Amino acid sequence: MPASVKFLAADGATQLSGELWPDIYAGAASTALKYLVENNGDRDMANATLKIVKVPGNEGDTMARTGADAVTASRPFGLSASLSGAGAGGVFPAASTYGYKLTAITALGETVACDEVSVNVDVTTKKVTLTWQQVARAIAYKVYRTATPGTYGASTYLVFIASGSTTTYTDSGSACSAGTPPAVNTTGDAAPAYGTPPTLGTSPLTIGTLKKGQQFPYWVNWSVPGGTMEPGNPRLFDIVIEEG
């Protein structure tokens, strides 16, 4: 199956098709900007790298630089749900289809939620078991549940899981409390800064294995070497992900 990625802003949610970079003079470097790339395909990507490629037709000797973000956590990935047998002691209020989302927590904040999974609880005494893959840098997780899959209201926060190494939770149907999945990833510190850029190097940047649904945060800036002419000298580049 073909690989597929989404390029996202620093909030971990806004999809980008391009970026307007500020003009800079020769011998200077632009402010580093933070982004995330997400594997939204139907399989894991192996040996992935991020490359900066000059757009055809552009002139000048422009160097783009990249660096992996060592603070921001990916949203959770690999979430699945399964139903235990009848008579397991669950207390769901009604037989219905329930939706679940999961976020990762660090000392700085909370990620956006993973893709929703849903399960049909056809007998109210059943329980739902959730499993997911461990998120790097996570120290905890939050689970959100809704009785209307696709819609998470103001009181859909189910439970706080106080361990970043935990990758399973069994929901017996207990009532949710106030809270809804966040719209931005604040694990790299609060908006609009979203953290501090690392030391930046040249392209390509090694990502490694990018799991289905996983996000990879990184920083980019570009510099214009001394002596490069500014007038009539456009500098555009693409950020691309290659596999293998």
- pLDDT over 70 at 29, yes or no: yes
CB distance 40 to 7 below 8 Å: no
Domain membership flag for residue 22: yes
Q: Model confidence over 86-144: pLDDT tens digits?
A: 788 899 989 999 999 999 999 999 999 999 999 999 998 999 999 999 999 999 999 99
Domain that holds residue 166: 80-171
Map tokens 């005494």 to a residue.
Answer: 125
CB distance 159 to 140 below 8 Å: no
Distance CA 125, CA 127 (A): 7
Of 124, 139, 171, the residue that ends a domain is 171
Confidence of residue 52 (pLDDT cuts 50, 70, 90): confident
Of 171, 203, 228, the residue that ends a domain is 171
Question: Is the same domain home to 67 and 84?
Answer: no
Q: What is the mean pLDDT of residues 135-160?
A: 97
Domain membership flag for residue 20: yes
Map tokens 């802003």 to a residue.
Answer: 9
The 8-class DSSP code of residue 200 comes to -
- pTM, 2 dp: 0.92
Distance CA 74, CA 60 (A): 35
Please give the tally of structural domains in the chain: 2
Backbone angles phi, psi at 85, to 5 degrees: -70, 165
